[in-house]
Amino acid sequence: MDAAKIDIAKIDVAKIKSRALSLAEEMTRLRRHFHENPELPWQEMETSRLIASKLEELGLNPQIGVGDQPVGVVADLAGNASGPCVALRADIDAFAITEETDVPYKSCKPGVMHACGHDGHITMLLAAAKLLSEMKDQLPGRVRFIFQPAEEHGYRSGAQAMINDGVLEGVSSIAGMHLWSDIPSGKAQWRAGPTMASADGWKVVFKGKGGHGAAPHVAIDPTLAAAAFIFAVQTLVSRETNPLETVVVSVGKLESGRASNVIPELAEMVGTVRTFNRAVRDGIEERFQRMAEGVGATYRCKAETRYEGLYPYPVVNDAALTRLFRDTAVRVVGEENLGEAPLRMSSEDFSFYQAEIPGCFFFVGSGNEAKGCAAPHHSPHFNIDDDSLPTGVALLTSFACAMLGSKKGEIEG
Ligand SMILES: [Zn+2]
Ligand SMILES: [Zn+2]
């Protein structure tokens, strides 16, 4: 490898792949350990300690903690030249769901499970740190490893907290990835531009006047307003946003009343809004409020609304960086195993990093029907094919090398 500038044709992909494969057994053991010991968002203390100790074994100097929380780990690997600093990010949290698989390394904590594959993400980034450390004399710059807490939290994004802590200072580009169960193990996907949606959360409470179910005329029925609102809010999508834009408005929960013969005082709803376009997203909030108040007034109810950006930015992959990823990945997995990802309405707080610097978020297949690894993400039956780990490690490692050789603006095309 050229120490001054890495030409991606010169990255020794074959060697990276064979080193990644040689770590397969060790990675499987480690991944299963993380799986068995999941921790909720902002509670990843043990996970962070173990990550830090593995990084120390590589001779790195990891820092634990973000803000005043003792979770999350960052470590820098300095190469042999003062070139750019590029970052690789993995999320490390599990979330509140009870595992229903019967694997021997099933979660030891009822109600907490790695049901999104973040146990695999941690393991792969640690292995990539190992491979890159072995190559450090040939790296023309610095690689920052970001082990981020609380991707699943929603209201308190771990990514935003890490950015506030300065994790992107001096970083020219960032890569992240997600294992994906509907992509077969061994395959990978890229996508340029908008890739995953933004996610907002909303709540509407209609306040009426309780009364007897047999005398609705002396009560004010908030359930009626809620029913009308459920229909009306869909016209935000069909009548008020450009039909060429993708928007989803969903009601996730409706609560109103407890007895068959009582008109309740309140009807409460919560839901989500997803879209790929920041400008579209910004227009929804005001419309949403107007509609809730209007519908409420029509049925004599007061409407209280709360509208919150959970992941207010969509995941938007930098075009040049994604081209670089594609050109690198084709050498790692082969043309036949590399495809363009479909747009996904699910969300990722990797978008916060991309709002600051160019980033590329890609997908690595972890699905394997024969091994029982085909359940969707966030299912209590979710599991990943451990044989997908070396593929992810080879991709992360090769792409870090490629990014070091191609700062934003230097990439052809
Ligand atoms: Zn998830
Ligand atoms: Zn996830």
Ligand 2 centre to CA of 219 (Å) is: 46
Average pLDDT, the chain: 94
Closest ligand, as measured to the CA of 376: 1
Mean pLDDT of 351-363: 97
Q: How many CB atoms within 10 Å of residue 367? A: 22
Query: Which residues have C-beta within 8 Å of that of residue 394, sequence separation ≥ 6?
Result: 13, 16, 17, 20, 332
- In terms of C-beta density within 10 A (0-12 exposed, 13-18 middle, 19 or more buried), how is residue 169 classed? exposed
405: pLDDT confidence band, cut at 50, 70 and 90?
Answer: confident
Rounded to whole angstroms, how far apart are CA atoms 155 and 134?
38
Mean pLDDT of 54-70: 97
Residue 397 scores a pLDDT above 50? yes
Q: Which fold has domain 8-195+314-405?
A: Aminopeptidase (3.40.630)
Ligand 1 centre to CA of 97 (Å) is: 11
Rounded to whole angstroms, how far apart are CA atoms 398 and 406?
13
Query: Which sequence spans correspond to the domains of the chain?
Result: 8-195+314-405, 198-311
Tell me: the pLDDT tens digits for 244-281?
Answer: 999 999 999 999 999 999 999 999 999 999 999 988 99
Tell me: the pLDDT tens digits for 74-108?
Answer: 999 999 878 899 999 999 999 999 999 999 999 99
Rounded to whole angstroms, how far apart are CA atoms 375 and 359?
28
pLDDT at 350: 98
Ligand 1 centre to CA of 378 (Å) is: 6
Ligand 2 centre to CA of 178 (Å) is: 7
pTM: predicted TM-score of the whole model, two decimal places: 0.91
Tell me: the pLDDT tens digits for 278-313?
Answer: 889 988 989 999 999 999 999 999 999 999 989 999
Ligand 1 centre to CA of 104 (Å) is: 22
Sign of the dihedral defined by the CA atoms of residues 284, 286, 287, 291, in that order = positive
311 neighbors 347 (Cβ within 8 angstroms): yes
Long-range contacts of 230-235 (CB under 8 A, 24+ apart): 230/254, 230/269, 232/291, 232/294, 232/295, 233/288, 233/291
Distance of CA 407 to the CA centre of its chain: 24
**Domain 198-311 bears CATH identifier 3.30.70.360:** yes
Ligand 2 centre to CA of 305 (Å) is: 29
379: pLDDT confidence band, cut at 50, 70 and 90?
Answer: very high
- In terms of C-beta density within 10 A (0-12 exposed, 13-18 middle, 19 or more buried), how is residue 136 classed? middle
Rounded to whole angstroms, how far apart are CA atoms 65 and 49?
10
